[in-house]
Each structure stands twice: as structure tokens, then as C-alpha cells.
Amino acid sequence: MPAAAERMSRVDTAWLRMDCDANLMMITGVWLLKPKLTLGELRERVEASLLPYHRFRQRVVEDTMGANWVDDRRFDLAHHVVAEKLPRQRGAAPREALKHRVAALCSEPLDAKRPLWQIHLVEDLDGEHSALISRIHHCIGDGIALISVMLSITDGGKPPPPRRRKAEPEEEADWLADAVIKPFTDLTVKAIGLSGQGFAKSVELLANTRPMAGSMDALRIGYQVIGDVAAMALMPDDSPTRLKGKATRGKKVAWGEPLPLDAVKIVGKAFGCSINDVLLASVAGAIGDYLRDKGDDTTGQELRAMVPVNLRPLEQAWKLGNRFGLVPLVLPIGIANPIERLYAVRRRMAELKGSYQPLLAFGVLALSGLMIKPVQAAITGLFAKKATAVMTNVPGPAQPLKFCGRTVEQVMFWVPQSGDIGMGVSILSYGGGVQFGLITDAKMCPDPDAIIERFAPQFEQLLLMALMAPWPVE
């Protein structure tokens, strides 16, 4: 192992090796800033606030057993923070040109000989705004971790804690992976008992709680895990629709105007549902309406999306890396009635509470990180067969951020898809609004704007019914 190298965790290695020609494992984001920002100012802020996260100065060196993080002795900030010129077509709006460029960058691999990130700056988007496009490989961190980084590099953001000179041992870095892998190797309920009362109540107990084998808690957890393993193994492949097929390299991206978060809360309160239930029901309605408009019969159809679930305390997000599991959420796209669809989503979300599927999915990814790439591709390909989309909901800051004195007016991001999954839905709350982003395979869905433009009308149906409902007098 090279000097000053750090061993990459098994889960992060899995994400590193998950790249394929059709789907690159990059998280791509866009900030719209007003007034305009210069390249010199951006580089100065990145050097002062982003580079203290040592991952952003490290490149990846793979070997037969996995990968290492190694300091890049030839690090050049000018390679990672670059000026971007958008090709303009006559009559095309600047933001349409931005969408085309973002889509192209989603299919452009990062330089494997350098740290796996890059920021592109469009200094003059439309005469008033600058656009900042970031691309960060998933092996560096998940969505929650990168939101933590985003907050730290804005005006007034807190830097990461000082780096310890000695790297943490792999066993400590992979404590959660071990908590899930051990049950697969020694088949004991006691090892499964590391999950304490379950991730839904407190994932922090994973590292500290060890109920005695034979206790009622251990037996209950054992039965739950056995049931979840069976459910994952027997889960049928997702319904065939035009949104599912063989993934291609071409991508399309879209985003819409944010929904007011207060209005989403009103709908949730009126129908006794969570904010997440309301948003997911709107997503299901938009996709279903899109398919019906294409002439497809969605009667009784459901679409499965793999949804990340955070598995670490938020105050540890600055450590980067990936600490999330996946749950398969069924979206009832065949239910046209918006209230019926909302309650169907709420029921499915309730069924997931207390499930150990996120932990099991984390363990599968950890195990696959130890395998050679063909074996890993076969393992992760199972997730693609079971789902049509990847969907994530990330909480962002409630107030608009400032960056180098500019206001960050809008924030969008797009999640990567693995294997042959051809759709990624991103939901981000920011500055009092809820932003939807969509990335699709250009062959399966060449017009993602046609889905994005349906989110707001689907939500407005629920809002209208909520305002018409009888409200209790307080």
C-alpha cells in the first residue's frame, strides 16, 4: 500500500466499481447564483473551504482487494474548478442550454487519475445569474454527506473538524457493514442483535447495543430479518413500462419551479399524512399521468423505486463516505384519484417502518465491494431488475444560502442510477420550497420535462381538496 494511503470502505468501493458505460456513479448538482460570480472568486472559496475535506485532495488507487485513498501530489485546482461556456442555439432559452450541458456532463467520466470531482462555472448564464455545476463521484459521499459539505462552504459555514493524522482502522470505519455482514457469515441471532431496537428508532444503537442471544428482543429481530431477507429474495421484477429497458449512455435532465413547503405541510395536516407521503404521491401521479398521455394503460400498475435511507447520525455527515441503505418503495401509478393514491403511499410507507431491509441492502453493497467487478455487477444488477427508478428526498436548509456574497436562489441535484435503471427522481427542500429534479435515459424517456411539468398540477389537486376539507375549530 502506498505511503499515506487510507483503505476505502467496502461500501464506498462498491460505489466506485458500480460505474458502467450507461450509468456513471456521479452525483450532479446545480446552483443558480445572483448576482454573477467570477472564476477567481470560486477557486478562492473552494481552496479555503472545500479542500480542508481531505477526500477532495485524494485520488483513488485500485488493487486486487479493493481501493485506497491516496494524496494527489500533483493536485491542480485549475483542473477541478473550470470555466464553462454554454453553446447557444438561436431562440433557445439559457436554462435550456444549461439542461443540455448538465445532461452531457452526467455521461462524461471524471478523470480517474485525479480526485473524483469537478466544478464547472457558467459565469454569465442570462445576464444576471451564474450557474455552478458540480460533479462528485458517489464513492466520496452520499447525499446527506454532500449537503453537509455544501453548508460548510457557503458564507458563514463551519469547516470540518481538524483531521486526525492517523487514519481510523478499517474495522471502525466499517462498523455498520460488519454489523450486517456477520449475520450472513455466522448465522447467529446475537450478531443480528447489534441492530438494537431497529434503525427506525435509533441507528446509533447499532454500535453500542448487544442484546443477549435467546432474549425476546433477539428473537423478534431474528424473525424480522428472516422475513425481510425472504421478501428481498422473492421480490418480483418491476412492472414492464416504457420507463424500463436496456440503459443507454445518453441522458436527459429536467427541473421545475419549487413547490411552497408550507402548502405541502397544509396538505399533510389535512389528510393526516407526512410531507414525504404528499411528495411521493405527487411523483406517482405525475409518472402515471405521463404514461397515460403516451397511450399506456396503467390500470392496476405499480412502479418500484429504490429509496435511500440514512443510517448515521447527521452530526457525523462531515466524515463523508456512504452510510445509507435502500428500501423498495412501490408507487401506485395506476391510481388516478389523488386522495386514494396519497393514502396508498402512506400505507406503503408505514409497512416499511421497522423493516431491516435498508440494513440488509447496506450489507449486500458492503459484500459486493469485496468481489471482483463481474460478480459485483451481478449482485448490484439485482437491484436494477427490482426497480424502475432511484428516488431520494434530501432535507436542505430552510433559509436561502449566501455564497461569496451572492444569493443561492435555486438548488438542484440528480442521483445516479445503477445497472439498467433509467430514471432518477430527486427531491430537495431548500429555502422554503421543495425542488424536484429528474434525470432519465434518453431512449426510455426522451422528454423528462413532460413529467416534471406534471408534479405541480398533481400536488395542486391535493392542495385544493385539502383547502375544501372541513377543518376543526381550535
Residue given cell 453537509 in the structure block: 148
82 in Cβ contact with 42 (< 8 Å)? no
Q: 1 pLDDT band (50/70/90 cuts)?
A: very low
Rounded to the nearest 10°, the torsion over CA 441, 369, 234, 203 is -100
- 398 vs 153: CA distance, rounded Å: 17
Q: How much of the chain exceeds pLDDT 90, in percent?
A: 54
Write out pLDDT tens, residues 223-261: 444 444 445 555 677 888 999 999 999 999 999 999 999
Edge-to-edge strand list for the sheet holding 66-71:
6-7, 66-71, 58-63
Please report, as a single letter, which amino acid is at residue 332: P
State the pTM of this model.
Answer: 0.84
Which of 59, 359, 43, 339 lies closest to 195, judged by CA?
Answer: 359
Write out pLDDT tens, residues 9-68: 888 888 898 888 899 999 999 999 999 999 999 999 999 999 999 999 999 999 877 899
Preceding peptide of 308 cis, ω within 30°:
no
Report how far apart, in Å, the C-alpha atoms of 320 and of each of 18, 113, 134, 266, 377 are. 18, 21, 16, 34, 24
Cell of 181: 455482514
Q: 181 pLDDT band (50/70/90 cuts)?
A: very low
Write out pLDDT tens, residues 379-419: 666 666 778 998 888 888 899 999 999 999 999 999 888 88
Longest Cα separation, the chain: 72
DSSP 8-state code for residue 141? B
> Would you give the distance in Å from CA 305 to the centre of its chain?
12
> Would you give the distance in Å from CA 112 to the centre of its chain?
22
pLDDT score for 151: 85
The radius of gyration of the chain's CA atoms, rounded to the nearest angstrom, is: 22
Mean pLDDT of the 422-435 span: 94
- 345 vs 284: CA distance, rounded Å: 9
- DSSP H helix total and E strand total for the chain: 16, 16
For the purposes of burial, counting CB atoms within 10 Å of the CB of 197, is it exposed (0-12), middle (13-18) or buried (19 or more)? middle
Please report, as a single letter, which amino acid is at residue 18: M
Mean pLDDT of the 62-77 span: 92
89 in Cβ contact with 193 (< 8 Å)? no
Cell of 416: 445516479
Report how far apart, in Å, the C-alpha atoms of 450 and of each of 68, 287, 291, 298, 344 are. 42, 9, 10, 17, 24
> Would you give the distance in Å from CA 3 to the centre of its chain?
33
Sign of the Cα pseudo-torsion (177, 183, 184, 186, in order): positive
- 347 vs 339: CA distance, rounded Å: 12
Give the number of other Cβ atoms within 10 Å of residue 58's Cβ: 22
For the purposes of burial, counting CB atoms within 10 Å of the CB of 295, is it exposed (0-12), middle (13-18) or buried (19 or more)? exposed
φ/ψ of 316, rounded to 5, equals -100, 10
